[in-house]
Amino acid sequence: MPKALLLENIHPFASENLRQHGFEVVTTKGAMDEDELIAALDGVDLLGVRSKTNVTEKVLAARPNLTAVGCFSIGTNQVDLKYAGKRGIAVFNAPYSNTRSVVELVISDIISLMRRLPAHSHHVRGGVWDKSAAGSHEVRGKTLGIIGYGNIGSQVSVLAEALGMHVVFYDIEEKLALGNAERAETLDDLLEKSDAVTLHVDGRKSNTNFFGEDQFEHMKQGSVFINLSRGFVADLDALKSHMDSGHIAGAAVDVFPVEPKKSGDAFSTPLSEEDNVILTPHIGGSTLEAQEAIGHFVSHKLLDYWSNGVTSLSVNLPTLNMNPCQGAVRIAHLHDNLPGVLANVNHVLGAENINITAQALATEDELGYVVTDVSSRPSAEALEKLKNLQGTIRVRVL
């Protein structure tokens, strides 16, 4: 019986789906460090993680028989994607499943900060009745600056416009503006004109400390700041300094540079001392609807790869879609992208008079992936020859 390990309280649909397809499934609520994960992966074929468990080169090297990793999240920076590809371990994620949940939280944060709801709530809880409109604003007519105009940023743009906001965005790639949104030529230009700034950049290492002292300095007086992207992209000490000075009027932070591995662990941040601040524990995509959608999407991707060799939406292997097997068995051959591999595969099969009923090849960067349906199962000797072909990374018979 194949085995799957699902960490970090992944939605029950995923484990149910895998069990229905013959997997033994082990689940945990918390994350694991490297040594814990290596031990837990003994005999495991499929691994599922969220954002707290790091699947490093050390982990992957220690468990080369792992077939695939499912990131039940938008991001994949918690996995060493390049090394996983070199070991023939496919990685999948859910790039769109929790978009709406994150977008709704961004919009609610913008409204709450501009109305100073966190500050008013804090005062009432402290026994102070401060019924004042000072510093409180409608979002209608205000300018929202969106940094990163991908799946989430562009949808924030649409909803913000529906609320009557003017939207400007900045992205290092060319992006189509939705509605009446305008592209800012420079980041500083966006910061200087925006009443609210929200970050939606990805988890690449080059984005570490992307938004620091210089960027906060360029923000408009009395503006608010929102970060629901990655904890390491914003300098929270610089943010606190600008809030203490009165330059930044409010902030909402859902992601932090260092976060606990499991719910219930102690956590502290200097921002908790601020008045008009919303601090949430990395829950941007944590709605029941989003988590169920992610559990559904990623578990199906893992199963499709396990059973059919389909790599559609894999983030580290060449993309190959295949219909159900049209022969007796299907052979998935992942290899270095070298000339002649396909011919060599076919030569090995032809030497046994095995008829090929369907075949597809995809290459991407350093990797090649060929899936072959054959009329009869190759002998153990033929399979060994396939594994020993120059450039072979992994061979699976499905």
Confidence category of residue 77, pLDDT binned at 50, 70, 90: confident
Q: How many domains are contained in the chain?
A: 3
Confidence category of residue 51, pLDDT binned at 50, 70, 90: confident
- 300 with 383, same domain? no
Which stretches of the chain are DSSP H helices? Answer: 12-20, 34-40, 57-62, 81-86, 99-114, 117-125, 151-162, 187-193, 213-218, 236-244, 288-308, 341-350, 380-387
pLDDT at 37: 96
pLDDT at 83: 96
Q: How far is CA 3 from the centre of its chain?
A: 24
Please state whether the predicted TM-score (pTM) of the whole model is above 0.75.
yes
Q: What is the mean pLDDT of residues 95-103?
A: 91
- 156 with 266, same domain? yes
Give per-residue pLDDT as tens, 352-398.
Answer: 999 999 999 999 999 999 999 999 999 999 999 999 999 999 999 99
316 DSSP 8-state letter: S
- 368 with 349, same domain? yes
User: Where in the sequence is the domain holding 372, given as residue range(s)?
Assistant: 319-398
- 103 with 91, same domain? no
Any bridge partners for residue 335, and if so which?
368, 392
pLDDT at 327: 81
DSSP for 69-120? EEESSS--TTB-HHHHHHTT-EEE--SSTTHHHHHHHHHHHHHHHHTTHHHH
Which residue, 249, 279, 309, sits at the end of a domain?
Answer: 279
- CATH assignment at residue 78: 3.40.50.720
pLDDT at 96: 85
- 69 with 129, same domain? no
Which amino acid appears at position 287 of this protein? T
- 121 with 243, same domain? yes
- 248 with 138, same domain? yes
- 223 with 250, same domain? yes
pLDDT at 371: 96
Q: Which two three-digit tokens encode residue 335? A: 């290899």
| pLDDT over 70, % of the chain | 100
From residue 197, give the alpha-carbon distance in Å to each of 69, 99, 266.
Answer: 34, 18, 29
- 221 with 308, same domain? no
Other Cβ atoms less than 10 A from the Cβ of 354: the count is 22
Confidence category of residue 97, pLDDT binned at 50, 70, 90: confident
Give per-residue pLDDT as tens, 269-315.
Answer: 999 999 999 999 999 988 999 999 999 999 999 999 999 999 999 99
- 259 with 353, same domain? no
Q: Catalytic amino acids?
A: 230, 259, 282
Confidence category of residue 46, pLDDT binned at 50, 70, 90: very high
Tokens 């939406």 map to which residue? 313
Give per-residue pLDDT as tens, 218-263.
Answer: 999 999 999 999 999 999 999 999 999 999 999 999 999 999 877 8
Tokens 């046994």 map to which residue? 352
Other Cβ atoms less than 10 A from the Cβ of 252: the count is 24
Burial class of residue 176 in the structure, from the number of CB atoms within 10 Å of its CB (0-12 exposed, 13-18 middle, 19+ buried): exposed
For the chain, the average pLDDT equals: 94
Q: What is the mean pLDDT of residues 39-64?
A: 95
pLDDT at 323: 86
pLDDT at 125: 92
Confidence category of residue 127, pLDDT binned at 50, 70, 90: very high
- 157 with 208, same domain? yes
9-23, 161-175, 203-217: range with lowest mean pLDDT: 203-217
Confidence category of residue 206, pLDDT binned at 50, 70, 90: confident
- 266 with 387, same domain? no
Give per-residue pLDDT as tens, 107-119.
Answer: 999 999 999 999 9
- CATH assignment at residue 346: 3.30.70.260
pLDDT at 156 over 90: yes
Provide the CB-side half-sphere exposure for 160 (13 A, CA).
Answer: 34
